[in-house]
Structure 1
Amino acid sequence: MGLEQLKTPLDGWLAWRQHQGILDRRSTEFLAKTWRILKHTSGLVIGNKMDKRNRISSDLVLSDMTEGENAFAILIEHMFNNIHAAEYRQLTIETLTALASFFEQNPSLIVEEAIVIDVTIGHAVNLAYVKEFPERQQHYDEHKSHAWERFYQQSPVHSTTFIISALNHLLTVRQVE
């Protein structure tokens, strides 16, 4: 994904994410990659999962839009406009980029349910924190804010590793149930 080419910013990764999230510099192929994710899942939920406007139905989008269509760009833009924290907006972009890469490497994988980006990110934060502080696993809820601070301060290479681990874990848990 080219993340290893990023140089550590002087102000740290949190400041970088805030800056990127404000400027919203998505790659030119971001929309096409996001559209292709929809071929592998029944939908995406970007932002507050309780708000129906944050749900994208794969069937609807794939049948009514193309990846380069302006309507699809507006739909995605609406989702990102509802994310108020710039650093979280950037983390969402990183997550969608990681998911696109994951599905490109696993072209036959189909996820029957919608992928909830907030759940995937939240689980990645948990996995990263517990790996760093295994003794705090039983009391993770008490350390959740610290876990998020730590995650935002990690490089995109580091966070993407845990995002993919979270997706793998969530898919595996679904299969076991």
Structure 2
Amino acid sequence: MLAEEEQQFRAFAREQAAGLRRTAYLMCGDWHLAEDLVQTTLIKLHRAWPRVNRKDTVQRYVRMVLTRCLLDEHRRPWRRRERRDGVVPEVLDTAADPAAAGQRAWAKNMVHQALTEVPPRQRAVLVLRYFEDLSVAEAAATLRCSEGTVKSQTSRGLTALRAAMEHQDEGLLRPAMEGIAW
């Protein structure tokens, strides 16, 4: 790799690392795994940088590699036994509007907890479609599948997300709801 290409890659990695980490976290629900996925993605991107950078397809390639790394990670035998039930770390801006901040945090936590219960491929489709704001065609290209598959996985993922939100333990939600000024 030429020195100029190396500098371009480093600039890209600095600018995009935080966003990639957030996307990876939404897909996997674990900050540590998200960091590992981003690291693996950037290593793979570095190998392909001269080829990908010339075609101006870097964003699409990065999303595709990140998603593939996540799906590969879930296929590993030791991951099948793990269940993640950690709490979403959140920094609140309670100075502006404490009640609204608490309500947003509660809703965000509720959606995130439900999202972790959605199967990995459906979760990846939901994150790409609704968080990354990709079209059906772009998500299909990222996942290397047909548009019909993206549509069906989106539908099934939304159904699973709704079901997970409906079946969340009432005992966990009530204390959180009591502190919110409706």
TM-score by length of 1: 0.30
Q: Which has the larger radius of gyration?
A: 2
Higher fraction of strand: 1
**Larger RCO, structures 1/2 (Cα 8 Å, 6+ apart):** 1
